[in-house]
Amino acid sequence: MSSLQQHDIPADIACCHDYERYAEQILPQPHWHYIAGGSGNESTLKANNIVFDKFGLQQTLLPDINQINTRVILNSERHENPILVAPIAYQQLAHQDGELATVQAANAQDISMVLSTLSSTSLEQVAQYQTSQPLWFQLYIQPDKEHTYDLIKRAEQAGYTSLVITLDAPINGLRNREQRHQFSLPEHIQAQNLQPYSQSVSNQAATGLSSQQVMLSRLLAQSPRWKDISDIIANTRLSVYLKGILTVSDAKKAKELGAAGIIVSNHGGRILDGVPTSIEMLPLIRQAVGHDIEILCDSGIRSGSDIFKALALGANSVLVGRPVIYGLATAGAMGVAHCLRLLKDELQLTMALTGCASISDITIDKIRLP
Amino acid sequence: MSSLQQHDIPADIACCHDYERYAEQILPQPHWHYIAGGSGNESTLKANNIVFDKFGLQQTLLPDINQINTRVILNSERHENPILVAPIAYQQLAHQDGELATVQAANAQDISMVLSTLSSTSLEQVAQYQTSQPLWFQLYIQPDKEHTYDLIKRAEQAGYTSLVITLDAPINGLRNREQRHQFSLPEHIQAQNLQPYSQSVSNQAATGLSSQQVMLSRLLAQSPRWKDISDIIANTRLSVYLKGILTVSDAKKAKELGAAGIIVSNHGGRILDGVPTSIEMLPLIRQAVGHDIEILCDSGIRSGSDIFKALALGANSVLVGRPVIYGLATAGAMGVAHCLRLLKDELQLTMALTGCASISDITIDKIRLP
Amino acid sequence: MSSLQQHDIPADIACCHDYERYAEQILPQPHWHYIAGGSGNESTLKANNIVFDKFGLQQTLLPDINQINTRVILNSERHENPILVAPIAYQQLAHQDGELATVQAANAQDISMVLSTLSSTSLEQVAQYQTSQPLWFQLYIQPDKEHTYDLIKRAEQAGYTSLVITLDAPINGLRNREQRHQFSLPEHIQAQNLQPYSQSVSNQAATGLSSQQVMLSRLLAQSPRWKDISDIIANTRLSVYLKGILTVSDAKKAKELGAAGIIVSNHGGRILDGVPTSIEMLPLIRQAVGHDIEILCDSGIRSGSDIFKALALGANSVLVGRPVIYGLATAGAMGVAHCLRLLKDELQLTMALTGCASISDITIDKIRLP
Amino acid sequence: MSSLQQHDIPADIACCHDYERYAEQILPQPHWHYIAGGSGNESTLKANNIVFDKFGLQQTLLPDINQINTRVILNSERHENPILVAPIAYQQLAHQDGELATVQAANAQDISMVLSTLSSTSLEQVAQYQTSQPLWFQLYIQPDKEHTYDLIKRAEQAGYTSLVITLDAPINGLRNREQRHQFSLPEHIQAQNLQPYSQSVSNQAATGLSSQQVMLSRLLAQSPRWKDISDIIANTRLSVYLKGILTVSDAKKAKELGAAGIIVSNHGGRILDGVPTSIEMLPLIRQAVGHDIEILCDSGIRSGSDIFKALALGANSVLVGRPVIYGLATAGAMGVAHCLRLLKDELQLTMALTGCASISDITIDKIRLP
Ligand SMILES: Cc1cc2nc3c(=O)[nH]c(=O)nc-3n(C[C@H](O)[C@H](O)[C@H](O)COP(=O)(O)O)c2cc1C
Ligand SMILES: Cc1cc2nc3c(=O)[nH]c(=O)nc-3n(C[C@H](O)[C@H](O)[C@H](O)COP(=O)(O)O)c2cc1C
Ligand SMILES: Cc1cc2nc3c(=O)[nH]c(=O)nc-3n(C[C@H](O)[C@H](O)[C@H](O)COP(=O)(O)O)c2cc1C
Ligand SMILES: Cc1cc2nc3c(=O)[nH]c(=O)nc-3n(C[C@H](O)[C@H](O)[C@H](O)COP(=O)(O)O)c2cc1C
């Protein structure tokens, strides 16, 4: 990985969100808009960006704590931080080192990565770089059932410890910005995991609305049903997390099906514009499903303070998407590591000022509701 | 129609609303402001532009549907889509092909057009280009009763299937933007349908406030009364839709008079600044009049998602005004066709993601109220 | 008056508010900021500018009216329009013709002017130009009681028909904008009415905070008390209107003292920043005092629609301040006349579209509350 | 103090907030951002800036007052104005004359200064310049208990009359802006009071997040506990004010511990982003603790009107932070004096217009709640 030492971290980056403006300058316009954009009018994307600021914090004066411990148990594994790298397709779009840079940087920061089905590096290759942290695999169910099960088997064999099945993206969203800039995948970047099944290109790999629409009926017919999910749960030894849940009823269904956890997410505002923010739905969902099931959450997390708020509202952990990719675009693995480091530091500082010695101290009374 | 193949669709148009910025550049300033502008401070116009975003959507995960069907019955006719082209005066202002381009493009997209009384092409000529889709005629009641009935007879004879009587524009609105840019109708563009009755120019043709004010009393004296409406309903075989309804009581009155339907509309914010948005009034009106009368709706529809929301709030179909004209200005008939195509595709995609196989599945629980 | 025919009305003025941007360019910066500015952070001034848009209107479809009549009775006089020109000091700052241009233009539009105590033309000279319309005089109570009564006597003798006593400006507001631009009255512009009493310059003539502060105690000691008001009411044959009322209790006090009317006003946001808008307080005040006392209203009126809303909320008439002065600055008397003409036309159009044949038809149900 | 007469006050400064734009131009970028910035997204800082405008004022017409008296008793001392200069570290960053300029200017305006532990001039030297006004000392509790008590003893000996213990800054906030501009303390500017104990640099002196984080555990272990506060109260003859209180429960605790007063403050939005504004919490806190304990308040005070509102909501006095420093940066002592003078004048003017002859007349009914 040639570039690991090459890049310097820009001196004026003070928080992980600061990577965004660098990424915007570094990336080719179409790539930038593919990554940064949302669907439709981007009203959900905009809501993701502002919803956290609507929740305030409550400082604890002169707290009686000596140490901050951010450890959590997820999937019966010990995670040093309540943070995972969200599954993001085609990371070589951001940087030539792609997923390999990300996984190494995450590992270096004691953070687990969720690898996308649509990774530009194969799941097997990524797994080789796995060191201390458990690796998770994000599954897009394939049109052909055999391919789906083959992917699962490969993930098991490569040592991934859990399966994140994404439910909210049966078809691509209406990503106007991306289309306006005529984004298309460069030849040399491909969904490596799907190469063996190249006949049936994954739905999600399609970009561009018109081709999509032509295929709408076909896509719908091929897209997964709830029965497919319960079959997978029954047939894998991996723990299954269902990603893209935004309603109480879907959360309850996930629990009934025996999922290990759910990921409350609006896919970063990229699928159906107008759906709510994760953070709005989180407390309702937690209240409805109780504490027997893990709840993770993403979409809009940009700081340690955002993480703190998500945890206070009921999440066991969060996932971080674009900021990681902006770090990657700006400074390769160093950028990813720095980005994650900043998040961890900020979370600890927030805990210190709110008097939380451990994650379980982060309760709803530590935040101020809108 | 010379230009039908001439224009290329700009590559960076991803949704029908994107035509607006092209139209703004292509059109002469006064024309642009005549079309784009609203009345007064444009507070109703601005509200039209933002009200849809206040309603969210509810995604349905893993919906069990194979096909999307957007068919509706309006005026006992089968319409492939719950979309009509709104009546817009003087379309040659936007493009030399004017209404002929629009009607052909609409037909090509299986969408019906409502022709304005103030069309720059005569209703008879437009009707010749009618192919598969039913044509509707929008009526401005004329100062001279005979002229009004002559127009109706001509519409009947030319094969129009319904009559949209516009109630909200007895006089022009206070269109400041238009006046600031000193818009006036070019010599070669005329209200062709009214040529036979040229003595009595229609009220609505008048532009410019001061002439209007001089004539205010005369206009008021000549403007229609409710009795005129019921007379027309009794004396035409066409179905009558009343356009410009914004209150429950007017909707009920329309129903009592035996109208086939009403069009909830604020005329695109062009008449009395300060009236509410259609979308706010829609559910109240639907609840008051029940389901025995059709409710159409316009003013501010810019995407398939907006259409979806209007249907969820009680409309049987929507009408689209300015975006069609912006498509026309940008790329003639091709622009109109593309604009309508995008709306249809977006509606289908929204239905797919919300789990609606047919229009009747689009119920209020699919949206999130403000 | 040399300039009466000299100026052309700019072609792109469509409503009276359009004069503002012309005035901003024409006037010397300090003059502009003196006229346009408010006090403090200008939060009251900003509220004045936006509060009217919070109230919507209700259109009446197919109204059964033939004529619009805008006549009102104020001070037992017939006024053709529910509009007066507000008292504005030193109008020669805006245009060399000053108050003489304004009074003539107002007369030409059948509108009465309220002349300020601080006019740059003497009240006697202005009265000579009075033609058809009654003239009103605005009184700032003077430090010296004799001067106050002398002013009243002069107003009576010159034929003014009512006395508007301004209560809200015992001292100048904290007009930061004005001070930042170091506004001071040019030598040749003076408070003509006060020349005879030049020893005791009126409080209100003072500009510049620091001089003001030095004199704060003196100003307070000299400033009027309620007893002074009731004495004046008892000792003049003019009807007395109290200007600057913003609370129910002050409105009731005015009624008890026997005032002919009150003017609900925040002085155009120029005195104490943070006081409410007139339009917010108007309905509460009307409800409290009933209909035995006239209520006029100003601060923020910029269109016929604004006038309509003020009347619907309980006013008998409005006063218009800055727009008139902007018309004056832009085009002298012609500008004032045009400005007032636009307001009248707009009011009539609004009445036509809401189905109001006369001012008494403008009731609260014609508007939509926020 | 070479510069005391050197600087002229810019002519376009009309209120103390106007100094901000001058300071922004005069100061080196990193210094500017260190002073002006807040923590995190600066949402608390932004709230500080706008919260006051949400409260309106109620004018009193024709008030019966002759004089304005702004005197208050704080700490059993007579203060001519309910205003103190807030403790601000390292004032030589703003101007070479630093704290000496500030203390003299404050004295000249009959206003007391609270000197920071982190002053760039020693507490003894500042005390020499003390003239008429009592001086207060702000204490950051030191890692080493002896040093804390030594500081207290020195303050007592130098004649300071009260001790403001800051509770809300055990560690620096996450000041992104400051870090982006790589602020660090210039060599020649130092925490003079802490020189004797140079081994153990105060926590608060540290800038830069990463060093901070490394030391997080150490900082936490060394940071004060409530017991330390009560010990200090028991062992000093100075009155103790606790600064940084934002909750009712902490206010009650302060009262129980025997503090002379509390300072409701969010430290100018510099510590934990997301905490509420002082002004929101003030009335709740006053109501909870009653009137036996003094309540001071800071964070966002920018005008006499802001001071008035804070007093109406329950404060006995306010502290002003950044504006004073901006005055200092712009024009040294003259700027500070002018800044304070403007605040005093504005407060008096506001009192005059609201009919308050003395501070005790400033009651909650004089303001309009949001
Ligand atoms: C460029 C991009 C690609 C993504 N690809 C995938 C993917 O392949 N699988 C998936 O489940 N989610 C994908 N997501 C969604 C993320 O996993 C995550 O839900 C989202 O980015 C979180 O929001 P944030 O970016 O605001 O942190 C993608 C998001 C982005 C921005
Ligand atoms: C330039 C223009 C001309 C119009 N002419 C007519 C007309 O002749 N008759 C009519 O009933 N409505 C007319 N309308 C109103 C439209 O039918 C429709 O109500 C409105 O445009 C819908 O709002 P939208 O433009 O936001 O889609 C016109 C609108 C515009 C913008
Ligand atoms: C430049 C200027 C001078 C004014 N002079 C006076 C005055 O001499 N006497 C008075 O009662 N009001 C005075 N006013 C207040 C106006 O009478 C009126 O209340 C206010 O302008 C209404 O608000 P508007 O300007 O938004 O219409 C003045 C206002 C302005 C803008
Ligand atoms: C540059 C700067 C330095 C500060 N240093 C201290 C300090 O040393 N001790 C302290 O208690 N507060 C300190 N504060 C906080 C102030 O005392 C005060 O709470 C805050 O500035 C009030 O908000 P304002 O700046 O909006 O008026 C500092 C504030 C600023 C802006």
Q: What is the pLDDT of residues D101-157, one digit of tens each?
A: 999 999 999 999 999 999 999 999 999 987 789 999 999 999 999 999 999 999 999
Q: What is the pLDDT of residues A19-72, one digit of tens each?
A: 999 999 999 999 999 999 999 999 999 999 999 999 999 999 999 999 999 999
**Closest Cβ opposite residue B346 in set A174, A217, A221:** A174
Residues sharing a CB contact under 8 Å with residue C326, sequence separation 6 or more, in sequence order: C16, C19, C20, C22, C23, C35, C94, C335, C339
Judge whether A181 counts as a catalytic residue: no
Return d(Cα D64, Cα D355) in angstroms, integer.
7
Which of these ranges, A156-170, A194-208, C269-283, has the smallest mean pLDDT?
A: A194-208
What ranges make up the beta strands (E) of D128-223?
A: 136-139, 162-166
Residue B105 pLDDT grade (very low, low, confident, very high; cuts 50, 70, 90): very high
Residue C199 pLDDT grade (very low, low, confident, very high; cuts 50, 70, 90): low
Name the residue with the closest Cα to ligand 3, atom 8: C89
Ligand nearest to the CA of D191: 4
Q: How far is CA C222 from the centre of its chain?
A: 25
Closest CA to A369 of A7, A54, A105: A54
Determine the distance separating the centroid of ligand 1 and the alpha carbon of A266, expressed in angstroms. Answer: 9
Is residue C76 packed enough to be buried (19+ CB in 10 Å), middle (13-18) or exposed (0-12)? Answer: exposed
- Whether residue B207 is predicted with pLDDT greater than 50 in this model: the reply is no
Question: What's the confidence (pLDDT) of residue B187?
Answer: 95
Catalytic residue among B79, B147, B267, B338: B267
Distance from CA of D125 to the nearest CA of C (A): 33
Span D29-54, average pLDDT: 97
Distance from CA of C37 to the nearest CA of B (A): 22
Question: What's the confidence (pLDDT) of residue A267?
Answer: 98
Question: What's the confidence (pLDDT) of residue B7?
Answer: 54
Q: What is the pLDDT of residues A99-148, one digit of tens each?
A: 999 999 999 999 999 999 999 999 999 999 877 899 999 999 999 999 99
Distance from CA of D239 to the nearest CA of C (A): 35
Which of these ranges, A164-178, A206-220, A305-319, has the smallest mean pLDDT?
A: A206-220
- Whether residue B199 is predicted with pLDDT greater than 60 in this model: the reply is no
Per-window interface: B 195-234 vs C, CB < 8 A: 209-210, 212-213, 216-217, 219-221, 223-226, 228-229
**Closest Cβ opposite residue C303 in set B40, B180, B250:** B40
Distance from CA of B42 to the nearest CA of C (A): 10
**Closest Cβ opposite residue D305 in set C219, C221, C273:** C273
Q: What is the pLDDT of residues C248-289, one digit of tens each?
A: 999 999 999 999 999 999 999 999 999 999 999 999 999 999
Which of these ranges, A117-126, A308-317, C1-10, has the smallest mean pLDDT?
A: C1-10
Question: What's the confidence (pLDDT) of residue B215?
Answer: 75
Arithmetic mean of pLDDT over chain D: 93
Number of H helices, E strands in chain A: 14, 12
Q: What is the pLDDT of residues B340-365, one digit of tens each?
A: 999 999 999 999 999 999 999 999 99
Return d(Cα D220, Cα A357) in angstroms, integer.
10
Report yes or no: D274 at the C interface, CB cutoff 8 Å. Answer: no
Cβ contact, residue pair A58, D174, below 8 Å:
no
Arithmetic mean of pLDDT over chain C: 93
Question: What's the confidence (pLDDT) of residue C132?
Answer: 83
Q: What is the pLDDT of residues B144-191, one digit of tens each?
A: 999 999 999 999 999 999 999 999 998 888 999 999 999 999 999 999
Residue B205 pLDDT grade (very low, low, confident, very high; cuts 50, 70, 90): very low
Question: What's the confidence (pLDDT) of residue D50?
Answer: 97
Span D312-328, average pLDDT: 98
pTM, rounded to two decimals: 0.95
Domain architecture of chain D: domains with CATH: 18-368 (3.20.20.70)
- Whether residue A5 is predicted with pLDDT greater than 90 in this model: the reply is no
Arithmetic mean of pLDDT over chain A: 93
Report yes or no: C131 at the B interface, CB cutoff 8 Å. Answer: no
- Whether residue D212 is predicted with pLDDT greater than 70 in this model: the reply is no
Span A345-367, average pLDDT: 97
Cβ contact, residue pair C352, B171, below 8 Å:
yes
Question: What's the confidence (pLDDT) of residue A41?
Answer: 96
What ranges make up the beta strands (E) of chain D?
A: 56-57, 72-74, 77-79, 83-85, 112-115, 136-139, 162-166, 239-245, 261-264, 294-297, 317-320, 367-368
- The answer to whether C122 and C193 are in contact (CB under 8 A) is yes
**Bridge-partner residues for A72, per DSSP?**
A79
Residue C203 pLDDT grade (very low, low, confident, very high; cuts 50, 70, 90): very low
Residues sharing a CB contact under 8 Å with residue B263, sequence separation 6 or more, in sequence order: B164, B241, B242, B243, B244, B245, B295, B296, B297, B298, B319
Determine the distance separating the centroid of ligand 2 and the alpha carbon of D201, expressed in angstroms. Answer: 72
List the single residue in C with minimal CA-CA distance to D344: C213
Q: What is the pLDDT of residues B264-287, one digit of tens each?
A: 999 999 999 999 999 999 999 999
Span B297-322, average pLDDT: 98
Return d(Cα A331, Cα A337) in angstroms, integer.
9
Question: What's the confidence (pLDDT) of residue C131?
Answer: 75
Return d(Cα C189, Cα B302) in angstroms, integer.
56
Question: What's the confidence (pLDDT) of residue A7?
Answer: 54
Q: In terms of pLDDT, which residue wins out, D208 or D363?
A: D363
Residues with CB under 6 A from ligand 4: D 35, 48, 86-89, 116, 118, 138, 166, 243, 265, 267-268, 270, 298-301, 320-322
Span D85-97, average pLDDT: 98
- Collect all residues of chain A within an 8 Å Cβ-Cβ radius of residue D221: 66
Question: What's the confidence (pLDDT) of residue C205?
Answer: 40
- The answer to whether A266 and B353 are in contact (CB under 8 A) is no
